[in-house]
Structure 1
Amino acid sequence: MLESKLPELVELERLIDKAAQASIPLEVRSECEIPMQGRALPVYSLALGNPSPDVPAVGFFGGIHGLERIGTQVLLSFLSGLLARLRWDHLLHQQLDKVRLVFMPLINPGGMWLSSRSNPQGVDLMRNAPVEAIDKVPFLLGGQRISPRLPWFRGAAGMPMEIENRALCRVVEGELLVRKFSIALDCHSGFGLRDRIWFPHAHTIRPIAHLPDICALEDLFSQTHPNHNYVFEPQSRQYLTHGDIWDYLYLRSSHDAEQVFLPLTLEMGSWLWVKKNPRQLLSLQGMFNPVARHRLQRVLRSHTVWLDFLARAACGHQNWLPRGLERDRHEQLAYARWYPAAQRF
């Protein structure tokens, strides 16, 4: 029954077992367990690479919304490839001496079990953090406390974050925010006809302090992979929300002026899959995930380049992170690119 309900969890545990049998140093922890129909569904964190806080890190996260299985599948495909390469790829071993790679591929297994965007308590984990929007948010979509029976429920006022979010924060704070440089990538689907890379803020239209660093990262990716099809933009350019977990974690990192933490969201454009196969509208799964086998394979292949790039960019961050006049130049470029009608905040 578990296999038919949660093949992603079965695949994740298969990869864990496979790494253990091959004596691959994959660090595995069960961060919490979600009770579901007599079972306890684990929320795993996994790590590869140098644990020293002196090296940079990249965190890969998925499955926050249970309906968006493709985010988890992309991460499992990438992780599977890394584990396979560790058997023969000497350069990958050298890379992992200089970077820490952290994975939480399935943060909301209860929601995925139920085919629900929310967790089993009806809470949208991307509206659940203790962050109140400064600027106006859209009704309901921006997060609501009316009822868990309505979408985008934030949770009851005054209650702690949901257990899944507490586990996510514990991993981010323990693995990423202890370092001078780190990147987080959270994989989602369901918005638009293009794949987008979003960055904070979601609670305000004001740009983040690390806007020049985001701009430099985009330029680096575009120079390295000039034929990519991603749209880079602040999430606030599309809509604002209360309770964004990445805004919350970014704000927690901002007390250290020397720390660079870049939380990114890969928002895969599922409308394109629906456009190519309108019958997908007949199911909730079809609205958020590619159904045709060849299309699924194409999606799993296409994002590997981006994920691998982030690991390499973290390794070499001292060579591209802008400083001095170069930082000023990238700030000007970023304002022209993403805030052209706004005066400096």
Structure 2
Amino acid sequence: MNSPETSPSPDSSSLRSAELRRELKQKIPELLQLERLIRNYPQHLNAQVELMLQVQHLHLPLYSITLGTTDTSAPTLLLTGGMHGIERIGSQVLIAWLQTLLERLNWDSHLQQQLAQVQLVLMPILNPVGMYLNQRSNGNGIDLNRNAPVNAEGDVPLLGGGHRLGTFLPWYRGKKNTPMEAENIALEKLLQKRILDRSFSLVVDLHSGFGMRDQLWFPYAYRKKPIHNIADYVALKLLWERSYPNHTYAFEPQSIHYLSHGDLWDYFCLQARSHQQSHFLPLTLEMGSWAWIKKRPRQIFNLAGLFNPQMQHRHARVLRSHLLLLDFMLAATLNYQNWLPDSKQRELLNQTAKSLWFN
């Protein structure tokens, strides 16, 4: 079971024994890689421990990392991964992109100028206990993305849409009328502190395990009706497609695939709307792990193989294949005023959304 504790410093990793470091290298090397970046690039990174989570004999930190301007009027890009501990590839992609970004900041004046005008926030490992235990849920057996106080307005897939039967089955939401899990509360506090008061905020949450192709999903997951700022999503979709016409991502609302209870980004969208934050755009990148299984069918007999590429060359290809997308999201956040629709365009884009997805 995980339990929240306070932590005075993000460098508690230096106090670990060699034996514990060897164990982490075996079970959660992503955490050691992230901590190495924090140590090696202190001039660029502001790292905070949002939470300490206990698992067995270890305390695992939940890190948030901030780069760029401290100007509270600047737009913000939030990148998250590892919400489901078994889906390691999302954290690995974020850490690989962060390493590239940090190295470029040492010599790339254009990137330095970009980050002087935008805030970049990362939580690369949202569920370190789940990753340590090699399971989808957190240490309490709860699926963090079925844990928010939001109920679907329609039928959901059996079990997969979220349930309250118990921790012995995946996709468990937690008990009714109880607070969200500590990891989700830490993320909510981070959003309230750095995201929801901004003029514009874009979010990309990295997952894997659905379909044959990579998909960019946006809320809502709890209902089939369009989200209130659907025009902004259509404008972003068109901007991406004009900029990179040979891309392979499907860009669409999650609800056209299935509904679910307790979706965390639905909850944060509703929170943003209550804060009058009209330009809050969370996206979920679902990396199509079925394609990896198709190329290596025996992965189906390995739990990790259902959600992560197993061959080294394929793993390296995935790590580099999303770098362009993350660079685009950073540029789109910085230049949001150049592509967000005005009132006249908004009506046209609302109609476009209806014809694409909501007929």
Interval of TM-score (by shorter of Structure 1 and Structure 2): over 0.9
Query: Distance in 2 between the 1:336 and 1:74 partners?
Result: 33
Residue 24 of structure 2 corresponds to 2
Q: Could you list the per-position Cα deviations for residues 241-279 of structure 1 after superposition, in whole angstroms to 9, with x for gaps in the alignment?
A: 111000000001112546300010000000000000101
Which of 191, 204, 207 is the equivalent residue of 2:226?
207
Query: Distance in 1 between the 2:187 and 2:270 partners?
Result: 15
Percent of pairs identical after alignment? 49
The yes-or-no answer on 1:17 pairing with 2:39 is yes
Residue 9 of structure 2 corresponds to none
Q: Is the 8 A contact 1:138 1:239 kept in 2?
A: yes
Residue 96 of structure 2 corresponds to 77
The yes-or-no answer on 1:47 pairing with 2:66 is yes
TM-score, length basis structure 2: 0.92
Which of 150, 156, 162 is the equivalent residue of 1:137?
156
Residue 217 of structure 1 corresponds to 236
Query: Distance in 2 between the 1:94 and 1:221 partners?
Result: 22
The yes-or-no answer on 1:284 pairing with 2:303 is yes
1:135-214 pair list within 5 angstroms: 135-214=154-233
Give 1:134 shift.
1.6
Residue 246 of structure 1 corresponds to 265
Residue 111 of structure 1 corresponds to 130
Query: Distance in 2 between the 1:258 and 1:173 partners?
Result: 11
Q: Could you list the per-position Cα deviations for residues 301-343 of structure 1 after superposition, in whole angstroms to 9, with x for gaps in the alignment?
A: 110111110110011110100012111111111111111x2xx
Residue 123 of structure 1 corresponds to 142
Query: Distance in 1 between the 2:333 and 2:49 partners?
Result: 26
Residue 349 of structure 2 corresponds to 330
- Match of 1:2, as an amino acid? L
Task: Give SS of 2:159's match.
Answer: coil
Which of 309, 312, 321 is the equivalent residue of 2:328?
309
Query: Distance in 2 between the 1:283 and 1:57 partners?
Result: 38
Q: Is the 8 A contact 2:198 2:277 kept in 1?
A: no
- Match of 1:266, as an amino acid? L
Q: Could you list the per-position Cα deviations for residues 36-68 of structure 1 after superposition, in whole angstroms to 9, with x for gaps in the alignment?
A: 121100000001001222110000000000000
Residue 16 of structure 2 corresponds to none
Query: Distance in 2 between the 1:85 and 1:44 partners?
Result: 22
- Match of 1:17, as an amino acid? R
Give 1:25 shift.
2.8
TM-score, length basis structure 1: 0.96
Give 1:142 shift.
1.1
Q: Is the 8 A contact 1:141 1:152 kept in 2?
A: yes
The yes-or-no answer on 1:270 pairing with 2:292 is no
Q: Could you list the per-position Cα deviations for residues 65-111 of structure 1 after superposition, in whole angstroms to 9, with x for gaps in the alignment?
A: 00000000000001000100010011111001111000000010100
- Match of 1:38, as an amino acid? H
Query: Distance in 1 between the 2:353 and 2:24 partners?
Result: 47
Tell me the matched-pair count: 337
Query: Distance in 1 between the 2:355 and 2:118 partners?
Result: 33
Query: Distance in 2 between the 1:71 and 1:303 partners?
Result: 10
Task: Give SS of 1:152's match.
Answer: coil
Task: Give SS of 2:274's match.
Answer: coil
Query: Distance in 2 between the 1:206 and 1:155 partners?
Result: 26
Query: Distance in 2 between the 1:295 and 1:25 partners?
Result: 31
Give 1:14 shift.
0.5
Query: Distance in 1 between the 2:70 and 2:284 partners?
Result: 24
Deviates further, 166-175 or 266-275: 166-175
- Match of 1:213, as an amino acid? D
Gaps of 5+ in 2: 1-22
- Match of 1:181, as an amino acid? F
Query: Distance in 2 between the 1:32 and 1:248 partners?
Result: 21
Query: Distance in 2 between the 1:136 and 1:225 partners?
Result: 36
Gaps of 5+ in 1: none
Give 1:171 shift.
1.3
1:92-107 pair list within 5 angstroms: 92-107=111-126
Q: Runs of at least 4 residues of structure 1 off by over 3 A?
A: none
- Match of 1:264, as an amino acid? L
Residue 27 of structure 1 corresponds to 46
Residue 261 of structure 1 corresponds to 280
